[in-house]
Structure 1
């Protein structure tokens, strides 16, 4: 049975790098920015199939130029029932 993982992050960024960071986040599968650009604290959600994918994407976000910190603040998962 597969799972659906939903997590949220706060990504603290240098103000001058925010547009490039938002653009890069838009290319990460399952990532969506929900605001915070004006404060340099981006609110990001991730939808993934595994917990490992969350870790991989969080690590990749932390390594982006201009990212000061990326912090996981919420994680929820549940099984996805296959359709017959």
Structure 2
């Protein structure tokens, strides 16, 4: 581990008829958690990762899910991991 903790939030706009499959896809992405929005198709997602490159990789993975119209980074914060303990 590099000693960092990255926390990011996204809004994922999805096709309303594909929300359930998109939810399953997002839940399969390591460190991703859905916090709401399934009723509107605008999903609120957080990511917890060890590196900035993992943030980018996981946003790209979500963006490539079938039915995702856009995955937009709203917030990104990082700090040394020991500060969280």
TM-score with structure 2 setting the length: 0.92
How many pairs does the alignment contain? 82
Structure 1: gaps (5+ residues): none
Ranges in structure 2 where 5+ consecutive residues have no aligned partner: none
In structure 2, distance between residues paired with 1:62 and 1:29 = 15
**Are 1:14 and 2:22 counterparts?**
no
Provide the rounded CA distance (Å) in 1 between the counterparts of 2:70 and 2:28: 19
Matches within 5 A, 1:1-84: 1-81=2-82
Instruction: Output the aligned Cα RMSD.
Output: 1.3
1:12-55 CA-partner distances (Å, limit 9, x unpaired): 00001100010111111100000000111000000000000000
Runs of at least 4 residues of structure 1 off by over 4 A? none
- In the superposition, the TM-score normalised over structure 1's length comes to 0.93
Q: Distance in 1 between matches of 2:17 and 2:60?
A: 21
